[in-house]
Each structure stands twice: as C-alpha cells, then as structure tokens.
Amino acid sequence: MPKGLPNRNPAARQKARGLRSSASAGEHALWQELRRKRLGVRFRRQYPIGPYVLDFYCPSRWLCVEVDGDFHDGRQERDATRDAFLAKMGVRTLRFWSTEVLNDAKAVAQSIWLACQETADVCAD
C-alpha cells in the first residue's frame, strides 16, 4: 500500500464541508449504516483526496464508497477518470446506485463489510 495520499486541495476541502450538510437521501441512508464503526472500521464522509471529494472513505482499508444518483447518468467517463486516479493512489472504489441504497441499505453495508474484509488482508502486508 502507498504510504500516503496527496495533499488535500483547499478547494476540495471547502466543497467537502458544504457537501456534508447537503447529503442525498442515499448518502444519508448509507451513512446511518457506516457511522460509528458499525462495520468494525471507521468511515469518513465527504472526504477530500486530491481534487476529488469521496462520498465515503475508510482510511484503514484504503476503500472509497460512492453513491451514484440519477444525475450520474452519462458521467461514466468522469467517474472512470476519478476511479483511475484513486487506483493509482492504491484506493479501491465501490459504487452503488442511490436506489439500491434506499431499497436495502443493510445489504449494501454487507457488501461493503465484505470488501473491508478482503482489503484487510492487503492492508496487513
């Protein structure tokens, strides 16, 4: 695993502060499942890395979780660029549709928990 992430961009940090108070319904529902180490690891919400703000980030597992809403339709290229940037940093990205989270946040949290278990082996090395 890489030793550290790039310095956080001041503009991204400011944007993250604003996003924390205006979470989508899907982000809010998933945060209820992730907060307070409910999966056994700490997640941060609206976490800035480089020029990007991640919906959720688990520093101990180098894991990013994104909740994509309908407005993400047609943004695959931008998301691919962002995911490639994060992958270069050693950060794995999981993506879920907002409707998926709203329909069954606990099942999404279970998928994230499994990813954390897989990543734990990598982070231990």
* CATH number of the domain where residue 62 is located: 3.40.960.10
Average pLDDT over residues 74-85: 90
Token digits of residue 107: 């099942």
Residue 31 identity (one-letter amino acid): W
Domain membership of residue 12 (yes or no) is: no
* pLDDT greater than 70 at residue 118: yes
| Domain count for the chain | 1
* pLDDT greater than 50 at residue 125: no
Domain membership of residue 20 (yes or no) is: no
Q: Look up the pTM and report it.
A: 0.82
Q: Is 68 left (phi over 0), alpha (psi -120 to 50) or beta?
A: beta
Domain membership of residue 96 (yes or no) is: yes
The per-residue pLDDT of the chain, averaged, comes to 85
- Tell me the C-alpha distance between 81 and 61, whole Å: 21
Q: Find the domain containing 105 and state its range.
A: 27-124
Token digits of residue 10: 């001041």
CB neighbours of 110 closer than 8 A, spacing ≥ 6? Answer: none
Domain membership of residue 6 (yes or no) is: no
